Amino acid sequence: MMAHITWILPDGRQIAADVADGVNLMNAAAMANVPGIIGECGGCLSCATCHVYVDEAWQEKTGEADGTEDAMLDATDAPRRDSSRLSCQIVAGPALDGLVLHVPG
């Protein structure tokens, strides 16, 4: 199965991709050439360069950061918000079909 994911860039431009279940959304952003999502550490929770803001309508479904992710979110370049997540920790699946993420400016 695929989940349709949309990234909204700081300038309002949108990039969308169909992402296979089980793929984390940092890797998905890299495959879709989304600028601003770097994923320097490869998804092992040590860089915070995969920071995104989850669209308000989706925050319940993506859930909250906990543990190491929560701590790493204090080290992002762009300001942390309530909607902040590290996208390598969000995994595509049926519940996230239609998800909208905002790329920090």
User: Can you give the binding site for ligand FES, defined by CB under 6 A?
Assistant: 26, 39-41, 43, 45-50, 72, 86, 88
Residue among 12 and 33 whose Cβ is closer to ligand FES = 33
CA angle centred on 44, ends 95 and 87, rounded to 5°: 35
User: Cα(56)–Cα(46) distance, rounded to whole angstroms?
Assistant: 26
Shortest distance (Å) from residue 3 CB to ligand FES: 18
Residue among 8 and 24 whose Cβ is closer to ligand FES = 24
Reported as half-sphere exposure (CB side, CA atoms, 13 A), residue 59 has a value of 12
Shortest distance (Å) from residue 65 CB to ligand FES: 11
Shortest distance (Å) from residue 102 CB to ligand FES: 16
Residue among 40 and 56 whose Cβ is closer to ligand FES = 40
Shortest distance (Å) from residue 83 CB to ligand FES: 16
Residue among 34 and 50 whose Cβ is closer to ligand FES = 50
